[in-house]
Amino acid sequence: MEKIIDLRSDTVTKPSPEMRKAMYEAEVGDDVYKEDPTVNELQEYVADLFGKEAALFVPSGVMANQISLNVLTSPGDEIICERDAHIFHYESGSPAALSGVQLNPVKGENGIMSVEQIEEAIRPKEAYYMPRTKVIEIENTHNRAGGIIQPIEKIAETKKLANKYKLKMHLDGARIWNASVATGIPIAEYASYFDSVSACFSKGLGAPVGSIIAGSNGFIKEAFRVRKAWGGGMRQGGIIAAAALFAVKNNLERLKEDHEKAKQLAKALAEMKNIEVDLNKVQTNIVMFGVKKTTAQAFSRKLASYGLLISPVSKQSLRAVTHLDVNYADIFNAIEIIEKVQK
């Protein structure tokens, strides 16, 4: 059977033989007693990489975000986020359901909110009848905007604003690895502007499961309590932490390759008559493109009939994501299939 080229997401990767070996050989203990040496090593490694005091391994990116928001807020509080943020669209209403807080989504440009917009969204302190603004949340890279990188100067300005209004900052850094590799800005520098940072091992880094939260000792102590309360205590978690540790040590720098592949794909798409793509927006491993002659659903189905999987994201647009399990030949073949289908 011909190889299926799966560009739906960077979450579809399967662990490599080397990664599986690291998992097989992992030393484990009971992490609910904080006795799993591999989990502890991963947490220390990432805390150090992120320039934070401590870190906590959790099962997923959603849990990482939701625990962070829970620790930073009290019921009745409000979180400012961008209108296309993952926490707004794809986390099942959890801020309300789990923490009794609401989101105040601000429509940014390509996923980026201006400081003026954020300031406007902050509730006046004296307005007792309004929710209390507590957190500014930023997603980097921004998924729905197409892997857009948040400019570091904007983040720094936003941090100043947060200080002025005594607000907390949370970074949804599911793909902060991609932002760092693309810009050369260390993750610790990005993280320095935030009280809490979430990041995923199960996306571009290629681990099968797992995410991390990083922050101060006090923050992580609280996060540890909430993780247990929400059923996220993982006992011999070292088996999966070993994959995450392998991923962060071996697969970080190679994200550059994914970015190159995305650019290569986007450039070819830009040449096609019935496809629309904005090359300026292809900054990491995600390529958003529009179809002119048909719907995204129909286009996606047609591609699938040739063995190419790309998800529709709206009526006319699709999202292709490059990752560890697609090589340059796959990109070449994907281009050929899209060329054929768009005619």
Ligand X SMILES: Cc1ncc(COP(=O)(O)O)c(C=O)c1O
Tell whether residue 212 is a contact of ligand X (CB under 6 A).
no
How many residues bind ligand X, per CB under 6 A? 12
Tell whether residue 149 is a contact of ligand X (CB under 6 A).
no
Tell whether residue 139 is a contact of ligand X (CB under 6 A).
yes
Instruction: Report the relative pairing of strands 54-58 and 77-82 from DSSP bridges.
Output: unpaired
Tell whether residue 202 is a contact of ligand X (CB under 6 A).
yes
Tell whether residue 174 is a contact of ligand X (CB under 6 A).
yes
The one segment of 56-64, 281-289, 293-301, 325-333 that binds ligand X by CB under 6 A = 56-64
Instruction: Tell me the closest approach of the beta carbon of residue 273 to ligand X, in angstroms.
Output: 31
Instruction: Tell me the closest approach of the beta carbon of residue 11 to ligand X, in angstroms.
Output: 6
Tell whether residue 178 is a contact of ligand X (CB under 6 A).
no
Q: Which two tokens stand for residue 55?
A: 């870190």
Residue nearest to ligand X (CB): 61
What is the C-alpha to C-alpha distance for residues 213 and 171, in angstroms, rounded to an integer? Answer: 10
- DSSP helix/strand/coil, 327: coil
Instruction: Tell me the closest approach of the beta carbon of residue 60 to ligand X, in angstroms.
Output: 3
CA angle 138, 144, 147 (to 5 degrees): 75
Q: Which two tokens stand for residue 43?
A: 């947490």
Crossing angle for the helix pair 328-342 and 255-270, to the nearest 10 degrees: 20
- Please give the torsion angle defined by the CA atoms of residues 65, 69, 71 and 77, in that order, rounded to the nearest 10 degrees: -170
Tell whether residue 259 is a contact of ligand X (CB under 6 A).
no
Whether 286 contacts 320, CB under 8 Å = yes
Instruction: Tell me the closest approach of the beta carbon of residue 65 to ligand X, in angstroms.
Output: 6
Among 52, 86, 170, 323, binds ligand X (CB under 6 A): 86
Amino acid letter, 97: A
Binding site for ligand X (CB under 6 A): 60-62, 65, 86, 139, 143, 172, 174, 200, 202, 211
